[in-house]
């Protein structure tokens, strides 16, 4: 049914009459309350998530390490224990000793392997050391017969001795290995040090200069303990 438009003073056709001021104020107040509640809820989620994430991250990144084990080791390797503790591998995993033979000039061969404990989930460190100490009238000449491998980029280390070299190899991931071969006097040393750090999302590579520096430290500690 056709309706006549309202007369003067009424709203135009199709428009609702304006709300009283107190109704408009009440609606605005309600919207503000809803907005405040939404903001508070979002802040609570952010803060709670941040705290929870921080706790998880701190636990994840915390290097558990481990107390050194009481595994008996030969004195050549025992001298390296402080260095191994600093590197994060205080536990000897394997020891092998070959005593000199009855030959006039022979050698005592000692090898020790350090690995992280199962509880360590951040710093992966593995170190292998072989010490070949010659004895006899021709010991120094035989010890000097020591050459590095021919593969890879071999770097001389004159600061250690006139027969010392190092090499660093990196895998496709974050894992890197530094090797060092050195001879001083009647002693030959081979050091192999592997390392990587566990990241929150991606594992992290240990810098090459750090790896090289640690292998030098180990080699020098060996030469100081075996004369």
Residue range 14-47, pLDDT digits in tens: 545 555 554 455 556 667 776 777 777 777 666 5
Distance (Å, whole) CA 182 – CA 97? 19
Distance (Å, whole) CA 216 – CA 70? 26
Distance (Å, whole) CA 25 – CA 34? 14
pLDDT band at 120 (very low <50, low <70, confident <90, very high): low
pLDDT band at 10 (very low <50, low <70, confident <90, very high): low
pLDDT above 90 (res 182): yes
pLDDT for 92: 79
Distance (Å, whole) CA 222 – CA 227? 9
Lookup result for tokens 């520096």: 213
Residues 214, 87 contacting (CB under 8 angstroms) = yes
pLDDT above 80 (res 98): yes
Q: How far is CA 112 from CA 121, 128, 179, 190, in A?
A: 22, 6, 15, 11
Handedness of CA 20, 26, 30, 32 (dihedral sign): positive
pLDDT above 90 (res 173): no
pLDDT for 187: 92
pLDDT for 78: 82
Distance (Å, whole) CA 84 – CA 185? 25
The per-type count for the chain, helices as H runs and strands as E runs, is: 5, 7
> Whole-prediction pTM value?
0.67
pLDDT band at 132 (very low <50, low <70, confident <90, very high): very high
Cβ neighbors of 102 (< 8 A, separation 6 or more) are none
């Amino acid at each position: 049914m056709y309706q006549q438009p309202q007369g003067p003073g009424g709203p135009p056709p199709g428009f609702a009459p304006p709300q009283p001021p107190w109704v408009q104020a009440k609606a605005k107040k309600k919207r503000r309350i809803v907005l405040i509640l939404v903001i508070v809820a979002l802040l609570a989620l952010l803060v709670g998530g941040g705290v929870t994430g921080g706790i998880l991250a701190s636990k994840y990144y915390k290097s558990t390490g481990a107390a050194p084990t009481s595994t008996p080791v030969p004195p050549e390797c025992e001298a390296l224990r402080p260095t191994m503790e600093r590197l994060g591998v205080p536990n000897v995993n394997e020891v092998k000793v070959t005593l000199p033979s009855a030959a006039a000039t022979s050698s005592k061969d000692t090898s020790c392997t350090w690995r992280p404990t199962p509880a360590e989930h951040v710093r992966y460190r593995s170190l292998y050391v072989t010490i070949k100490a010659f004895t006899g009238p021709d010991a120094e000449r035989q010890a000097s017969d020591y050459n590095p491998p021919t593969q890879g980029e071999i770097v001389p280390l004159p600061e250690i001795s006139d027969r010392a070299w190092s090499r660093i190899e990196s895998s496709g991931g974050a894992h890197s290995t530094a090797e060092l071969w050195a001879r001083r006097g009647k002693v030959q040393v081979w050091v192999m040090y592997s390392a990587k750090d566990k990241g929150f999302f991606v594992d992290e590579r240990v810098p090459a200069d750090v790896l090289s520096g640690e292998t030098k430290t180990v080699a020098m500690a060996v030469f100081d303990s075996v004369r």
